[in-house]
A = this chain, B = another copy of it.
Amino acid sequence: LDIEAMVDRLTGGDPRTLARALSLVENRAPEVKELVSRLFSRERSAAMVGLTGPPGAGKSTLADTLAGMARESGRTVAILAIDPTSPLTGGALLGDRARMDAASRDPSIFVRSMASRGHVGGLASAAFEALILLEASGKDFILVETVGAGQDEVEVASAVDVTVLVLAPGLGDEVQAAKAGILEVADVLVVNKADRDGADELAADLHAVAGTRPVERTVATTGAGVDALYAAIAGLEPRRNRFMEVWLWDVIQTKVRERISESALREVLKRLEARELTPYEAAEELLDGES
């Protein structure tokens, strides 16, 4: 793998190189570190918007409509969807351009699903590495869509410039409860499917907790209200302070694992199982025994 050539083609905006580089990130290839390091020192340029919320809220359709608007205003656009994945079903469950209408009409919108492989650690790194690659390839408006409300996904969605929480009426109380955790970190609250029964109640609930944050009503399938949402996003002061911190902890966690040998881990786990030492003692032993 010629990293030098890849950097050149990627910064030149070649979509095939970008796609190939993102596959390396997704597969946690060892070359990623060098590639990202080479691209990392460039000046930051892209606006990164996170869309999150429960399944069924219509995040993909909303991302697509927002992407179309960004294109119309002359921006270069990418959508990165972090998907839950299953080895049994073989890869990302949502196709790269599934249900993406604007994206399928406009091939200059770069759309990519990336599987979150379910092991602890690595999701944040993979997502942030992908964002650095997208930015380096010249995209200046990047939408990051996270399915579900897992802790790591919330971390990623809340670590970008602007975080949009997408809810919809009729998903049930328990589903709405899944918004907890992300509600605090969201910059914009959205009632999507706002033409449905229950939209007024949901909007009222959100207004009650929104404080000074905007609450937008959208119908992503028709585009209604999405222009106001786009304007609300554009009007916000971007914050990126959490980006580096979340990424850094993820890298630290991965490094700590790499430094602990498999044999030391197995030995300690055996004694833990036998309850000969506590997890607190075991952790000290592994950390202090690290080379």
Those of A69-100 within 8 Å (CB) of chain B = 83-89, 93-94
A249 to B174, CA, bound (A): 30
CB of A148 within 8 A of chain B? yes
Residue contact B251 to A84, C-beta cutoff 8 Å: no
Pick the contact of A55 from B54, B123, B128 — CB < 8 Å? Answer: B54
A36 to B154, CA, bound (A): 30
CB of A3 within 8 A of chain B? no
Mask for A249-264, Cβ within 8 A of B = 1, else 0? Answer: 1011101110110000
Chain B contacts of A125 at CB under 8 A? 279
Residue contact B287 to A272, C-beta cutoff 8 Å: no
A248 to B280, CA, bound (A): 8
Pick the contact of A150 from B55, B150, B177 — CB < 8 Å? Answer: B150
Pick the contact of A177 from B33, B147, B269, B284 — CB < 8 Å? Answer: B147
Residue contact A287 to B255, C-beta cutoff 8 Å: yes
Chain B contacts of A86 at CB under 8 A? 179-181, 183-184
Interface stretch, picked from A38-46, A103-111, A194-202, A229-237, is A38-46
Beyond A175-B55, A177-B84, whether A253 also contacts B251 by CB under 8 A is no
Residue contact A251 to B150, C-beta cutoff 8 Å: no
Chain B contacts of A272 at CB under 8 A? 244, 248
Residue contact B247 to A279, C-beta cutoff 8 Å: yes
Chain B contacts of A279 at CB under 8 A? 40, 125, 128, 244, 247-248, 251
Q: Which residues of A contact B (CB under 8 A)?
A: 33, 36-37, 40-44, 54-56, 83-89, 93-94, 116, 118, 120, 123, 125, 128, 147-155, 171-172, 174-175, 177-181, 183-184, 209, 240-241, 244-245, 247-249, 251-253, 255-257, 259-260, 268-269, 272-273, 275, 278-284, 286-287
Beyond the given pairs A94-B177, A248-B282, 4 more chain A to chain B contacts, judged by CB atoms under 8 angstroms and listed by A's residue number, are A93-B177, A118-B151, A148-B178, A259-B287
